[in-house]
């Protein structure tokens, strides 16, 4: 269920939280994944067979414009694919494996410190910060090491 703050934010913008909008917001918030529009549509379709793609895209645009949802590219791992998450979480960094696409979220004091350093150094008022870090997860590091070792073996 969307929080009262979410409903108030929509109401202030003159947007009704319809059953379908509520469903999409719930799926984004509770899936535990970063969903693209098509994945979101497929999940929503399982719960409401009358839902169509146009509604999903319009709702994502509305929620994004309303500041309730962030649109992420996650290091373009999925090409031009965009992913969505609610803005209800505290600020965090996305750690993306460039091999398998696994996404981890990092919450912590170092991000807050970095934000304060940037504001102090540049006299800049930060309203939104998105941090993405690309690299290789432990599993993919091991796979890469095996591949490199195999390439170095004489045949």
C-alpha distances (whole Å) from 59 to each of 20, 21, 45, 51, 65 are: 9, 6, 14, 11, 10
Q: Are residues 27 and 83 in the same domain?
A: yes
10-residue stretch averages of pLDDT, the chain, 155 residues long:
65 78 88 88 93 92 83 84 80 92 90 93 89 94 91 77
Q: How far apart are CA 17 and CA 59, in angstroms?
A: 10
Residue-level pLDDT at 129: 83
Residue-level pLDDT at 95: 94
> At which of 89, 115, 140 does a domain end?
89
Residue-level pLDDT at 58: 92
Q: Which structural domain, as residue segments, surrounds residue 135? A: 90-155
> At which of 89, 110, 126 does a domain end?
89
Residue-level pLDDT at 90: 76
CATH no. for residue 110? Answer: 3.30.1490.190
Residue-level pLDDT at 3: 60
Neighbours of 134 (CB within 10 A): 14
> At which of 89, 112, 131 does a domain end?
89
Is the Cβ–Cβ distance between 51 and 23 less than 8 Å?
yes
Q: Are residues 113 and 151 in the same domain?
A: yes
Structurally, how many domains does the chain consist of? 2
Q: Is the pTM of this model over 0.85?
A: no
């Amino acid at each position: 269920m969307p929080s009262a703050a979410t409903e108030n934010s929509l109401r202030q913008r003159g947007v009704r939280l319809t059953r379908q909008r509520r469903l999409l917001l719930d799926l984004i918030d509770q899936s535990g994944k970063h969903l693209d529009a098509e994945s979101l549509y497929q999940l929503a379709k399982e719960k409401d067979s009358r839902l169509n793609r146009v509604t999903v895209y319009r709702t994502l645009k509305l929620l994004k414009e309303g500041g309730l949802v962030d649109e992420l590219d996650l290091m373009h791992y999925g090409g031009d694919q965009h992913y969505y998450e609610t803005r209800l979480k505290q600020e965090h960094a996305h750690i993306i494996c460039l091999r398998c696409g696994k996404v981890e979220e990092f919450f912590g004091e170092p991000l807050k410190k970095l934000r304060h350093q940037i504001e102090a150094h540049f006299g800049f008022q930060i309203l939104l910060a998105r941090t993405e870090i690309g690299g290789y997860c432990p599993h993919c590091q091991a796979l890469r090491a095996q591949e490199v070792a195999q390439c170095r073996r004489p045949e």
